[in-house]
Structure 1
Amino acid sequence: MTTDATDTTVTDEAVRSLHATTDPRLRELLTGLIRHLHAFARETRLTQQEWERAIGFLTATGQTCTDTRQEFILLSDVLGLSMLVETIHGNNADRAAGATESTVLGPFHMTESPARELGADIDLVGGGEPCVVSGRVLSRDGTPLPGAVVDVWQADGNGFYDVQRPEVQPPGNGRGLFTADAEGRFWFRTCVPSPYPIPTDGPVGDLLRATARHPYRPAHIHFIASAEDHVPVTTHIFVAGSDYLDSDAVFAVKPSLVQEFTRTDDSSLAREFGVPNPFRHARFDLVLEHS
């Protein structure tokens, strides 16, 4: 680079340095990253002190990550980037034709869900309102998908995932890996989820406080549904009427994913599901696009 370089020639030189990159997609991504980062620095007149502080923040974000905590995913979530990428490449264009809408993975899919029998209780600690979740996994044309796999994870009745409080919750609490029956049906017992704050004891929490944002997510259950010859979907169901549906800290709520958890007073149905009466019942289908 020449000694009389301007801010624009710095950008051009940095882009030209990628000329030998053999992977065209990598070259495209890095070129865009350099140009946008440099444009951001010029537009905001970024100072050296501010950039050093940003580097410190990113360093702390990486240092906060563990085998059971992903602070970078959390950062991506609260900046809206996770939801943007999901919206760009998710299956939302297929929603009009009936496919279940996707949403963010979130930072707590960090351990494998244990395989469980249909109807099993994933709430191993109790304390929440008893609930049954049931539905079918279907192809977009309405054909049931027997043997479809439904991966489920949620927080406990106090709003914590098993990996957040291992001294209180056994591994796998709030998680289950279910195989749909011959008619594509799945069902399991759990507790009604509650709204909860995302972790705020790390750099992402510092960012939320600095920007006067709340950390709360509306009540929800996570799902990944997959079946042979179909595109998997990563999604949630949100509890209708929950607080924060209109201000989710990670911007993940979609109206089609808000479901009623209906209060059910039916002793025979309660006996069938193995839950106390009355209980809450959420019924919905997971509809997959053919690959």
Structure 2
Amino acid sequence: MSEVSAEQQAREDAIVNTVLASFDGCENPRLLELMRGVVTHLHSFLRDVRLTEEEWSAAVAFLTAVGHMTDDRRQEFILLSDTLGASMQTIAINNEARGDATEATVFGPFFVEGSPEIGSGGDIALGAAGEPCWVVGTVRDTEGRPLAGARLEVWEADDDGFYDVQYGDERTAARGHLFTEADGSYRFWAITPTPYPIPHDGPVGQMLDATGRSPMRAAHLHFLVKQAGYRTLVTHIFVRGDQLLSSDAVFGVKDSLVRDFDRQPAGTPTPDGRVVDGTWSTTTFDIVLAPEQP
């Protein structure tokens, strides 16, 4: 921070104090706390880096471009939040460690409501390109009790690195939901995850390029797990050995979520008797849900 005179500091302090005072009539305590916090930290940043008017105009233009890029199929603001680590920080704040509860990670911009129900042992691929992957596991609580009827939403990119919504042809592929059985177990077919770039043809991609960062995400499979009385879990599992684990573009990797995806040679019998033309993989992901906050 460059040196500023006492007179200049007083002038800048007066602006901050005036803005903060403008919220004195707010009757919502939490909203008041949030607005005062935003103003305090924003003005501190502006003063700390001595932001120029040209830089502020560029920032406004950047956010405007992010807004123009956002629609019902692409959420550029979520990409921005993810790539700045804001999403992961918010998740960390709101998912405090609770026993051996499975860790949460970023939601991502490609979840879609109303996925098809595939049933136990079903296939979420629905025609998406990729090597078949048999996924099994259990859902339990932090006391080790199996959770029957828990809803699992699962979704992922195809072998070409795209989610179904990125194609623009109304297809539904590589996503679905199922429910755990009486013993808390689940099983389904998916696609062996592969690395892919986040959408980088917009302002967020320009930011990454300008700062020398890669848009690549480590290979992963998304999970959203819900059960009444328990904290909803949003998480991924990642592929052990992936070279991008330490440089994931959205900072989503956690050691506890890295799993072995064991590749099976062509001709190896599958657990459910499905005939697979070529290799396939298998992985296990046991999930532990934390109880809701009292």
How does the TM-score come out when normalised to structure 2? 0.91
Asked if residue 163 in structure 1 is aligned to residue 168 in structure 2, the reply is no
Give 1:77-88 correspondences, 5 Å limit: 77-88=82-93
Q: Equivalent residue of 1:247, what SS?
A: coil
Question: Which residue does 2:285 correspond to in 1?
Answer: 284
Asked if residue 263 in structure 1 is aligned to residue 263 in structure 2, the reply is yes
Deviation at 1:90, TM superposition (A): 1.3
Question: Which residue does 2:54 correspond to in 1?
Answer: 49
Which of the residues 90, 98, 101 maps onto 2:100? 98
Asked if residue 131 in structure 1 is aligned to residue 136 in structure 2, the reply is no
Question: Which residue does 2:193 correspond to in 1?
Answer: 193
- 1:26-71 CA distance string (max 9 Å, x none): 1001101001111111111111111111111101101111101110
CA contact (8 A) 2:128 2:174 kept: no
Structure 1: which amino acid aligns with 2:274?
G
Moved segments of 4+, more than 3 Å? 264-269
How does the TM-score come out when normalised to structure 1? 0.92
- In the aligned structure 2, how far is the partner of 1:70 from the partner of 1:107? 6
Q: In structure 2, do the counterparts of structure 1 residues 56 and 221 end up closer, same or farther at CA, with 3 Å as the change threshold? A: same
The percentage of counterpart residues that share the same residue type is 45
CA contact (8 A) 1:238 1:259 kept: yes
Q: In structure 2, do the counterparts of structure 1 residues 278 and 53 end up closer, same or farther at CA, with 3 Å as the change threshold? A: closer
- 1:102-149 CA distance string (max 9 Å, x none): 111011114432222111111123431121111111111111111000
Question: Which residue does 2:34 correspond to in 1?
Answer: 29
Asked if residue 17 in structure 1 is aligned to residue 22 in structure 2, the reply is yes
Which of the residues 63, 76, 80 maps onto 1:75? 80
Q: Equivalent residue of 2:166, what SS?
A: coil
Q: Equivalent residue of 1:19, what SS?
A: coil
Q: Equivalent residue of 1:18, what SS?
A: coil
- In the aligned structure 2, how far is the partner of 1:6 from the partner of 1:248? 43
Deviation at 1:227, TM superposition (A): 1.1
Give 1:175-190 correspondences, 5 Å limit: 175-190=175-190
Question: Which residue does 1:236 correspond to in 2?
Answer: 236
Q: Equivalent residue of 1:135, what SS?
A: strand
Number of aligned residue pairs: give it.
Answer: 282
- In the aligned structure 1, how far is the partner of 2:287 from the partner of 2:275? 23
Asked if residue 120 in structure 1 is aligned to residue 116 in structure 2, the reply is no
- In the aligned structure 1, how far is the partner of 2:132 from the partner of 2:225? 23
Give 1:202-241 correspondences, 5 Å limit: 202-241=202-241
- For structure 1, which runs of at least 5 residues remain unmatched after alignment? none
Structure 2: which amino acid aligns with 1:17?
S
